C-alpha cells in the first residue's frame, strides 16, 4: 500500500499586533481577558487584509500557541491560522474551596498565586526559583536593579522614537460616566521612581535580592498573529512580515526554569544551523531581570542585541500574552533579511523559542 508523504510547508507571518499593556488595576482592568484577546484578533485579521472566512482555527496561549499554529500549517492541515495570547490579571478571581465552611471561616486563595506563580511540583513561589538561580550566578542586588532601570530607560526611549506604533492597536475602554477612554500605549514604563527603586525591600526572601522593581509586574493585555503558508500568501496576494525559520523547546529542573531559555535556544541553533552571531535581535521574556542576565551569560550572546526596547520588567508581563508579544515585536523592528529569536521560560522547568526572518 502506498501513502502520500506529507511535505513541510513554508510558514509566514502576515500580521502581528498587540494591545497596550495595562497596569494591574489600571486602565484596562475593566476589560476581560477575552475582550482584550478579541481586540487583538480583530486588528490582526484586519491588518492581514484577508477575508475573515479564510481563518480556519483560532489559538490563544502565547508563544506555544503560535508554534502549534506553525506546525498545523507546516503539515498542511490548514492554510491560515490565527494564534495569540491574552491575559487580564486584574480580573483573576480569588478561590474558595468547595465544601462545608468550618467554624471560624476559611481563607481565600489568590488565583494569580495559585495557578500562575507557584511551582506545581514543589509548591514554592516562582520568585524563590529565581532567587535560587541568582545565588548560582552570584548576581548582586545592584546589578539586577541597574539592569531593570536600564529596561525602563530603553522602553521610554523607544516610545519617544515611536518604535511601537506598528504593533499597537488602541483599546477603547467604556467608562461609568462620560465617553470611553482610548488606551494607546503601555502604562507600566511610566510607573517608575528611580529614587525609590534601590530602596525596595526583597519580595520573596528576607535576605534576597529580587524586588518588585527588578521583577515584572502584574498586567493585562492581548496579542495576536495571523500565519499562512507561503503558498496561501502568494495565492491571496498577502504581503508577509516575516517567515518562520524554526522553533524549539528546552527543559531544566523545575527550580531552574529561569535558565531553560538557554537550553531551548541552543536546541534551536543546532536545528537550524544558524550561528548565534548571525542573530540581529533577541527578545528574552523577563519575569525577573536575572532571567535575561543569566541566559545571556550562559549563551555568550551580545547584550546590546537583547531586549533593545525594554522588557517585561519595564513593559509588563500579562502571562498569557507575553510570548506572542515578543514575536509581534520582532516582526516589526527587524530589518529586511535579519534574523530574530524570541524566547520565554515557563514554570515547571520549560522554555520555548522561535526564530524568524524579516521579509
Q: What is the pLDDT of residues 270-300, one digit of tens each?
A: 999 999 999 999 999 999 999 999 999 999 9
Is residue 3 scored above 50 in pLDDT? Answer: no
Residue bearing cell 522593581: 213
Q: In angstroms, rounded to a whole number, what is the distance separating the alpha carbons of residues 354 and 312?
A: 18
The pLDDT-based confidence of 1 (bands split at 50, 70, 90) is very low
Is residue 57 scored above 80 in pLDDT? Answer: no
For 101-151, how does the pLDDT look when each residue is reduced to its tens digit (9 = 90+)? 888 888 898 888 888 888 888 888 899 999 999 999 999 999 999 999 999
What cell was used for 201? Answer: 525591600
Q: In angstroms, rounded to a whole number, what is the distance separating the alpha carbons of residues 234 and 50?
A: 12
The pLDDT-based confidence of 7 (bands split at 50, 70, 90) is low
Average pLDDT over residues 331-349: 96
Determine the pLDDT at residue 5: 47
What is the model's pTM? Answer: 0.93
* 59, 129, 331, 353: the active-site residue: 59
User: What's the mean pLDDT when you consider all of the chain?
Assistant: 93
For 211-256, how does the pLDDT look when each residue is reduced to its tens digit (9 = 90+)? 999 999 999 999 999 999 999 999 999 999 999 999 999 999 999 9
Q: Which CATH architecture has domain 11-98+106-358?
A: 3-Layer(aba) Sandwich (3.40)
Report the run of H or E that residue 43 belongs to, with start and end. Answer: helix 33-48
The domain limits of the chain are 11-98+106-358
Percent of the chain with pLDDT over 90: 84
Q: In angstroms, rounded to a whole number, what is the distance separating the alpha carbons of residues 90 and 108?
A: 16
Active site residue 331: no
DSSP secondary structure letter of residue 238: P
Average pLDDT over residues 23-45: 94
What cell was used for 221? Answer: 493585555
Is residue 38 scored above 90 in pLDDT? Answer: yes
Q: In angstroms, rounded to a whole number, what is the distance separating the alpha carbons of residues 224 and 46?
A: 12
Characterize the bridge pairing of strands 350-358 and 339-346. antiparallel
Average pLDDT over residues 255-273: 97
Active site residue 353: no
Is residue 159 scored above 80 in pLDDT? Answer: yes
DSSP secondary structure letter of residue 212: S
Is residue 55 scored above 80 in pLDDT? Answer: no
Amino acid at each position: 500500500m502506498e501513502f502520500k508523504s506529507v511535505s513541510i510547508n513554508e510558514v509566514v507571518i502576515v500580521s502581528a499586533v498587540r494591545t497596550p499593556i495595562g497596569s494591574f488595576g489600571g486602565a484596562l482592568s475593566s476589560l476581560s481577558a477575552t475582550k482584550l484577546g478579541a481586540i487583538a484578533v480583530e486588528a490582526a485579521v484586519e491588518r492581514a487584509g484577508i477575508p475573515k472566512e479564510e481563518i480556519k482555527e483560532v489559538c490563544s496561549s502565547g508563544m506555544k500557541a503560535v508554534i502549534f499554529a506553525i506546525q498545523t500549517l507546516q503539515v498542511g492541515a490548514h492554510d491560515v491560522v490565527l494564534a495569540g495570547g491574552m491575559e487580564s490579571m486584574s480580573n483573576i478571581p480569588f478561590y474558595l474551596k468547595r465544601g462545608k465552611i468550618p467554624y471560624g471561616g476559611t481563607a481565600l486563595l489568590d488565583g494569580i498565586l495559585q495557578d500562575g506563580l507557584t511551582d506545581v511540583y514543589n509548591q514554592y513561589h516562582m520568585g524563590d526559583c529565581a532567587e535560587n538561580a541568582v545565588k548560582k550566578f552570584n548576581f548582586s542586588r545592584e546589578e539586577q536593579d541597574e539592569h531593570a532601570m536600564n529596561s525602563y530607560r530603553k522602553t521610554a526611549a523607544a516610545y519617544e522614537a515611536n518604535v511601537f506604533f506598528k504593533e499597537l492597536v488602541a483599546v477603547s475602554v467604556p467608562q461609568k460616566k462620560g465617553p470611553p477612554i482610548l488606551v494607546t500605549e503601555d502604562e507600566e514604563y511610566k510607573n517608575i521612581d528611580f529614587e525609590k527603586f534601590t530602596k525596595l525591600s526583597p519580595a520573596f526572601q528576607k535576605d534576597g535580592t529580587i524586588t518588585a522593581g527588578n521583577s515584572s509586574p502584574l498586567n493585562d493585555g492581548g496579542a495576536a498573529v495571523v500565519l499562512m503558508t507561503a503558498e496561501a500568501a502568494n495565492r491571496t496576494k498577502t504581503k508577509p512580515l516575516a517567515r518562520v525559520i524554526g522553533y524549539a523547546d528546552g527543559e531544566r529542573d523545575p527550580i531552574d526554569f529561569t535558565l531553560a531559555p538557554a537550553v531551548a535556544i541552543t536546541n534551536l541553533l543546532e536545528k537550524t544551523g544558524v550561528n548565534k552571531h548571525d542573530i540581529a535581535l533577541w527578545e528574552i521574556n523577563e519575569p525577573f531581570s536575572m532571567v535575561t542576565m543569566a541566559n545571556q551569560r550562559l549563551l555568550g550572546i551580545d547584550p546590546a542585541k537583547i531586549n533593545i526596547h525594554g522588557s517585561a520588567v519595564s513593559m509588563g508581563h500579562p502571562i498569557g500574552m507575553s510570548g506572542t508579544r515578543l514575536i509581534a515585536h520582532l516582526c516589526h523592528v527587524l530589518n529586511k533579511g535579519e534574523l530574530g529569536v524570541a524566547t520565554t521560560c515557563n514554570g515547571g522547568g520549560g522554555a520555548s523559542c522561535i526564530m524568524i526572518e524579516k521579509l
